Amino acid sequence: MQQDYRVDPYTVEGSVNYEDLVKKFGIAQIDAKLKDRIKKDAGDLHFMIRRGIFFAQRDMNWLLDEYEKGNKFYVYTGIAPSGGMTIAHLLPFVMAQWLQEKFDADVLIEIPGEEKFLSGKDPKLTLEKVQELAYADALNIAALGFKPAKTKMFLTTEYAGVLYKQAVRVSKYITFSIIKDAFGFDSDANIGRIFYTSMQAVPAFLKSVQMGKNIPCIIPLGVDQDVHFRVARNAIDKLGYYKPAIMHSTFLPSLKGGAKMSSSDPDNTIYIDDPKEVVAKKVNKAITGQQSTAELQKKLGGDPAKCSVCQYNRYLFEPDDSKLAAIFDGERKGTLLAGEHKKDLADKMNNFLDQHRKKKEGLKDRMDSFMLRD
Amino acid sequence: MQQDYRVDPYTVEGSVNYEDLVKKFGIAQIDAKLKDRIKKDAGDLHFMIRRGIFFAQRDMNWLLDEYEKGNKFYVYTGIAPSGGMTIAHLLPFVMAQWLQEKFDADVLIEIPGEEKFLSGKDPKLTLEKVQELAYADALNIAALGFKPAKTKMFLTTEYAGVLYKQAVRVSKYITFSIIKDAFGFDSDANIGRIFYTSMQAVPAFLKSVQMGKNIPCIIPLGVDQDVHFRVARNAIDKLGYYKPAIMHSTFLPSLKGGAKMSSSDPDNTIYIDDPKEVVAKKVNKAITGQQSTAELQKKLGGDPAKCSVCQYNRYLFEPDDSKLAAIFDGERKGTLLAGEHKKDLADKMNNFLDQHRKKKEGLKDRMDSFMLRD
């Protein structure tokens, strides 16, 4: 099979074929039957699951078996700071917050200071700078509505007193060969990068260590992160803990189209801290699936799949399915014109970001209740 | 040059050619001129330096330049627990304690819980077991006479909150290629072992980080450990800190002869916790350089270089050079018979171990003042 795309934690390129990815990664679709089961247990189904934005999984049926037996799970996810947080980064956290609410789940959030520092892509990214970014990210995450009593966040560099010992136990079961194959590193990779996946693995079984009994865990993540846990799940299993369940999201496209919104392409990326006018300006330049003129658009209609404005509504900003259908329909039939379409999205975004800023304001002096430190 | 011996942190085999090692490792002899200089600055010269037991060094002249300018150094050394502590393990600590006394130096002692665990030589060695051994080692070390106010010890697994962040900075400058060449690891090495040298590097510049200015450091160690710092010194230099000076010891031979006393050969190894009778019994079976009968010994004499009893006097138990000369002389001329020779050593050992046990008894409830934890 010809591969015209690439998905790993350090590179997402080309037109991602998610069906192909499911086979390649050995993961399973979140199919209709599983959706029904989640809906039954949660009393609801998040639109990101309904719409296939979270499209794949590992061991979610086992997780729900346990849940239905009264064995509650916790949720683990994270973010590696490298620049400002974008709306694309929100996906796993929105899902984690929903899981917390619907399943009364504890949440652990790891903010690895070292990952992007060690990748060396940005030579100016010092550990001190990463730390600053990490605290900004933590506030952005908390403002999504996590419960302080059930949500703990930590920087790996500040919680290594707990994490490192467990990472050592994981690392004993992971060879350089495994890392080389999984991440495509060669012998010139630095030894910090090579070790790092062990640190990312720890929160997936840390509650079990701390409670002295096995506790199920689920990790919502972007599918590019799956490889970390393909490697770690084996090691965690050998240590005698439950392998974490995983749910995988597709990538929020770039405003100009393309596989993934990237914080390294600021013009086509919405940062959570972008001011109103900047959001409006960026959205105004976004790619739509529409024809080149209003005339043609009215006549021929557009393609929602190619329209980043439609997709942003689908991914994040229009939770109501019937309203989303109307937008897609308008795009398809040519009744919704580009200007109007973009203004509607920019307004929704700015409304969300405004609310978010207010929530941050209320939380910024109370972050200590979320943070774990050695 | 034919190599009929091997020296690395995981294997010491064959008849070690120390002169050859100096060339191979790119280190320098501790020559007569340097000995004079140490004596001048210390006001004394430790018998282990006089006798060439500490035989080689890196950057000690620079260290003494700094010292003479009023820029005091600190001492860093360590031990990786794997079984009971033997008298061979004492060498770097005896030197560290002497340096503390003569140069009023602070001392940092790292006890890596993970090193032997990750090497996997002993599959029964859990991290919990290592931790237990580590505390026993710490007490044995403290009892050598370190000043509590100027001596800090830590387990890497308990002080990772401080160490890991700095290890990450080191690791960025060390590739797998470097590790492969330095330690002989292949791609089947686990990623914990590959990373570990970064943790061993940290205390060599940690005081500089903590004080916010460069502070010279010297590391007394067994020459098998040099490779860790061959690798680390480059990385530490790139981070902008002083490269640590190093002083290297030769290996205390096994009681049966052979390059190195090893804790994996208990019959030919004296453990610090060995009871009196066990010490006497082991020494009684030791190899001497003597002839096969008392008759022949009186006639032909023996060879102190091949006599482990002579060597144990030289390494640890006879600090007085003229008394040592008398022992060597007796061995050479055949006037000192094996039984007498061995009894004298066993008595000295048991005397030392007795005193040591008493010191441990007095310290065992006061170890908290030595230990650093996150």
Distance CA A318, CA A325 (A): 10
What's the distance, CA A82 to chain centroid?
15
3-state DSSP call for residue A222? strand
Distance CA A39, CA B3 (A): 70
Tokens 């390494």 sit at which residue?
B315
Whether the pLDDT of residue B259 is over 70: the answer is no
What pLDDT was estimated at residue A222? Answer: 96
Q: Is the interface score ipTM higher than 0.95?
A: no
Distance CA A206, CA A169 (A): 12
* Alpha-carbon distance A361 to nearest alpha carbon in chain B (angstroms): 30
* DSSP state letter for B292: S
Percent of chain B with pLDDT over 90: 80
- CB–CB of A190 and B175 under 8 A? yes
Q: Which residues pair with A212 in a beta bridge?
A: none
Distance CA A218, CA A239 (A): 18
What pLDDT was estimated at residue B335? Answer: 85
For chain A, list the strands marked E by DSSP: 5-8, 11-14, 28-29, 54-58, 74-78, 107-111, 151-155, 217-222, 245-249
- Of B243, B201, B218, nearest to B112 by C-alpha is B201
Decide which of A48 and B334 is more confident.
A48
CATH of domain A5-250: 3.40.50.620
Whether the pLDDT of residue B1 is over 60: the answer is no
Chain A residues with CB under 8 Å of B177 CB are 187-188
Name residues 131-190 of chain B within 8 A of A (Cβ): 156-165, 167-169, 171-177, 179-180, 185, 187-190
Q: Which residues contact A165 (CB under 8 A, 6 or more apart)?
A: B113, B114, B127, B157, B160
Decide which of B235 and A121 is more confident.
B235
Of A173, A188, A374, the CB nearest to B161: A374
Query: What are the counts of helices (DSSP H) followed by strands (DSSP E) for chain B?
Result: 17, 9
Sort A291 into a burial class: Cβ within 10 Å, 0-12 / 13-18 / 19+: middle
Chain B residue with Cα closest to A156: B165
pLDDT band at B306 (very low <50, low <70, confident <90, very high): confident
What pLDDT was estimated at residue B3? Answer: 61
What pLDDT was estimated at residue B299? Answer: 81
Distance CA A308, CA B107 (A): 61
A365 close contact with B: CB closer than 8 A: no
Decide which of B206 and A121 is more confident.
B206
What pLDDT was estimated at residue B333? Answer: 87
- Residue B347 has which token pair? 């008595």
Mean pLDDT of B352-359: 98
What pLDDT was estimated at residue B256? Answer: 86
Give the sign of the dihedral formed by CA B94, CA B95, CA B99, CA B100.
Answer: negative
Q: Identify the weakest region by mean pLDDT among A80-94, A254-268, B156-170.
A: A254-268
Q: Which residues contact B313 (CB under 8 A, 6 or more apart)?
A: B324, B327, B345, B348
Chain A residues with CB under 8 Å of B185 CB are 176
- Residue B223 has which token pair? 């020459």
Distance CA A175, CA A197 (A): 11
For Cα atoms A107, A112, A117, give the angle at the middle one, nearest 5 degrees. Answer: 165
Decide which of B57 and B13 is more confident.
B57
Whether the pLDDT of residue B2 is over 70: the answer is no
* Alpha-carbon distance A239 to nearest alpha carbon in chain B (angstroms): 12
Contact A371, A341 (CB under 8 A): no
What's the distance, CA B69 to chain centroid?
28
Contact B64, B38 (CB under 8 A): yes
Contact B204, B239 (CB under 8 A): no
What pLDDT was estimated at residue A259? Answer: 67
Tokens 């001048």 sit at which residue?
B40
B82 to each of B119, B125, B277, how far by Cα in Å? 10, 7, 24
Of B177, B185, B195, the CB nearest to A195: B195
What confidence tens digit (pLDDT) does each residue in A190-244 have? 999 999 999 999 999 999 999 999 999 999 999 999 999 999 999 999 999 999 9
Chain B residues with CB under 8 Å of A169 CB are 127
Distance CA B269, CA B109 (A): 24
Percent of chain B with pLDDT over 70: 98
What pLDDT was estimated at residue B353? Answer: 98
Mean pLDDT of A338-348: 94
What confidence tens digit (pLDDT) does each residue in B88-129 have? 999 999 999 999 999 999 999 999 989 999 998 888 999 999
> Which stretch of DSSP H or E encloses residue A239?
none
Distance CA A236, CA A227 (A): 14
Percent of chain A with pLDDT over 90: 80
What confidence tens digit (pLDDT) does each residue in A171-189 have? 999 999 999 999 999 999 9
Contact A324, A330 (CB under 8 A): no
Of A192, A198, A373, the CB nearest to B171: A192
Decide which of A77 and B286 is more confident.
A77
Distance CA A74, CA A68 (A): 14
- CB–CB of A190 and B177 under 8 A? no
What confidence tens digit (pLDDT) does each residue in B200-252 have? 999 999 999 999 999 999 999 999 999 999 999 999 999 999 999 999 999 99
Q: Which residues pair with A104 in a beta bridge?
A: none
Chain A residues with CB under 8 Å of B164 CB are 156-157, 160, 163-164
Whether the pLDDT of residue A2 is over 80: the answer is no
Distance CA B248, CA B98 (A): 15
- Residue B361 has which token pair? 């008894």
Chain A residues with CB under 8 Å of B171 CB are 118, 190-193, 195
CATH of domain A266-362: 1.10.240.10
What pLDDT was estimated at residue B142? Answer: 98
Of A160, A171, A185, the CB nearest to B160: A160
Distance CA A330, CA A57 (A): 33
Contact B159, A158 (CB under 8 A): no
- Of A67, A66, A90, nearest to A79 by C-alpha is A90
Whether the pLDDT of residue A106 is over 90: the answer is yes
What confidence tens digit (pLDDT) does each residue in B9-48 have? 888 888 899 999 999 999 999 999 999 999 999 999 999 9
Q: Which residues pair with B269 in a beta bridge?
A: none
- CB–CB of A168 and B194 under 8 A? no
- Residue B161 has which token pair? 């909150």
Whether the pLDDT of residue A60 is over 50: the answer is yes
Residue B105 phi, psi dihedral angles, 5° rounding: -95, 140
What pLDDT was estimated at residue B263? Answer: 67
Decide which of B172 and A15 is more confident.
B172
Decide which of B13 and A150 is more confident.
A150
Give me the DSSP letters along A133-153.
Answer: HHHHHHHHHHTTT--GGGEEE
Query: What are the counts of helices (DSSP H) followed by strands (DSSP E) for chain A?
Result: 17, 9
Percent of chain A with pLDDT over 70: 98
A113 close contact with B: CB closer than 8 A: yes
For Cα atoms B277, B279, B284, give the angle at the middle one, nearest 5 degrees. Answer: 95
- pTM flag (> 0.90): yes
Distance CA B107, CA B104 (A): 10
Torsion, CA B74, CA B75, CA B80, CA B81, rounded to 10: -100
Break chain B into its structural domains and give their ranges. 5-250, 266-362
What pLDDT was estimated at residue B217? Answer: 98
Torsion, CA A146, CA A151, CA A156, CA A159, rounded to 10: 140
- CB–CB of B189 and A168 under 8 A? no
Distance CA B163, CA B54 (A): 28
A354 to each of A275, A277, B187, how far by Cα in Å? 9, 12, 51
* Average pLDDT, rounded, for chain A: 94
pLDDT band at A65 (very low <50, low <70, confident <90, very high): very high
Distance CA B273, CA B91 (A): 17
Mean pLDDT of A124-148: 96
What confidence tens digit (pLDDT) does each residue in A245-282 have? 999 999 999 898 776 767 678 888 999 999 999 999 99
What pLDDT was estimated at residue A1? Answer: 45
* Alpha-carbon distance A249 to nearest alpha carbon in chain B (angstroms): 29
Distance CA A339, CA A342 (A): 5
Angle between helices B191-201 and B160-171 (to 10 degrees): 100
